Amino acid sequence: MYLSPSSLLSLGALLIASTSALKCSPSSISKPDVLGATILDLQANEAHNYTTVSIGPGSNNGGKYTISFCNVTVTHTHAGWNDTIATQIWLPLHDDWNGRFQGLGGGGYSTGFGPIYLAYAVAQGFASASTDGGVPGDPGAVTTIATDLSWALSSKDNVNWFLLQDYATKATNDMAEIGKQVTESYYNRAPEYSYFSGCSGGGRQGFAMAQQFPDAFDGVLAVAPAINLETFIPAGYWPTQVMNDNQIYPSPCEIDAFVSAAVEACDGLDGVQDGMISLPHLCNVTAFDLVGKHYTCNGTQHSLSPSAAKVVQAAWSGSLSRNPEEAGGYYGINKDAPLSSYYIPTECPARNNSTSTCHTSNGASLFGNWISYLVAKDPSFSLSQISEAEFFSFLTASKTEYASLLAANNPDMSAFKARGGKMITWQGLADEVIPPGGLVEYHKRVLELDSNAGDFFRVFEAPGVNHCFGGPGPVPNDALEQLMEWVEMGVKPDTLRATRGSGGAARDLCPFPMRQRYIGGDPADAMSFECVEV
């Protein structure tokens, strides 16, 4: 039978596609071997021209991507734990793989966001993995899975310690083991380098890996890391406690006006007016200093009130404004961080911004759910009537019960350093969820233990950037690329390249404790700033 050249080419393409599909099948990919775990199932199939909107952890570089890849899902359990964990591994087709593996973190009370991060990583050429931590739910519903803690209780007053252990570290380390083994099986060679990327709760996962499983990854990018989760989460409820104690519920409009007034007062401390507070440690204005300033809401002029100032100052000072040794409190957020989303979540009847008609919204669920589920251990527990003394007793109880399991703040990362690991972490100074003061304090403790820690661990502050991304400040979208340069070529990141803030500025972020100072020229030009200790 004669076959024309074009027919032969078509047949060859079909054979190549068929061979590729055969390699992406349950029979061709070896089941991983994970200590202490039993593999229940492995599914694999090729996905072609998969199109989705995706982002990377701590990046503004999201977009619409069309990718083709081998889609592998491994399900496993731990004997006696009654858990079922699904790990997704997306593998670029052979010609598209960059030779690297990337584990991806989650956020809030989730260990992974599935396709939301995976597609972005695959589009960059990484063999990538994400884990659900054994908690069912739609990874696309980020807000829901990030604040839902119903899984943490087996029943009233009974914590599901096995799932909490999965959430803390176990599932993430399993993901690293499973992901790298599946990658090697599919490509017939191990990844040359392995990286982890995560923001918020995902940043905490990255720190936990470096501290407890130093062999898991060569490089860790941990953005806005929730390293003191058991402390700052319940402490974040403090402004709501102040509202409930005083029956003061400022309108979102007034809350935002306090933030705008604070920015106006402290914006120029770094030498330039750019809509950001770049040196928050020098911003000494209090909410009470701003009382009486005018603001406009829905076309009506108002004045910032003393009652609202009390609530706003609670968010800025944090619960450390009391006796920290007795209260177990935590830092407040910086004064250009949005307040009305998490720390002072209120809502008012339509077009009515009188504080007498406003009330708390469900925005405090990230903080309140922690107290209800993990401290009171009662899903129906109401926080609205607790006393101030009870609130601070909850903070102490949370730290006592969960620090050893969930905190990722051990300053000793000597094992990670010894095996050549590198870590970059950065946080927006206008972070509206996690107070930056915790990361600053942790970095100091690391340097006290190892004065040469900068050889493997560097912290950067991002002025004007919100939680993970957003805000007027420039975001270091190339941080993972700089981490790879450090791991693979020994190029230390003396600064982080940062662009694309909503304010349009480009900056080089400084390694802490150095900070940006304006030296003249166009504020949108990175060369107009220098890194100095201020």
Q: Which residues are catalytic?
A: 200, 431, 467
Distances (CA, A) of 371 to 7, 361, 378, 394: 67, 17, 9, 7
Q: Specify whether the CB–CB gap between 102 and 121 falls below 8 A.
A: yes
Terminal Cα-to-Cα distance of the chain (whole angstroms): 81
Query: Which pairing describes strands 300-303 and 294-297: parallel, antiparallel, or unpaired?
Result: antiparallel
CA–CA separation, 66 and 442 (whole Å) = 40
The CB density around residue 305, as the number of other CB atoms within 10 Å, is: 16
Q: What size, in residues, is the chain? A: 534
Which among 429, 504, 511 is positioned nearest to 465, based on CA atoms? 429
CA–CA separation, 305 and 250 (whole Å) = 9
CA–CA separation, 474 and 500 (whole Å) = 5
Beta carbons within 8 Å of 195's beta carbon, 6+ residues apart: 100, 101, 102, 103, 126, 217, 218, 219, 220, 221, 480, 483, 484, 487
Distances (CA, A) of 45 to 22, 93, 441: 9, 12, 46
Which among 504, 512, 509 is positioned nearest to 530, based on CA atoms? 509
167 DSSP assignment = I
The vertex-474 CA angle with 131 and 517, nearest 5°, equals: 130
Beta carbons within 8 Å of 500's beta carbon, 6+ residues apart: 60, 61, 474, 475, 477
Task: Write a three-state SS string for 67-121.
Answer: EEEEEEEEEEEECCCCCCEEEEEEEECHHHCCCEEEEECCECCECCCCHHHHHHH
CA–CA separation, 480 and 490 (whole Å) = 14
Q: Specify whether the CB–CB gap between 95 and 69 falls below 8 A.
A: no
The pair of three-digit structure tokens given for residue 342, joined into one six-digit string: 């998490």
CA–CA separation, 421 and 400 (whole Å) = 31
The pair of three-digit structure tokens given for residue 480, joined into one six-digit string: 């993972």
Q: Specify whether the CB–CB gap between 209 and 59 falls below 8 A.
A: no
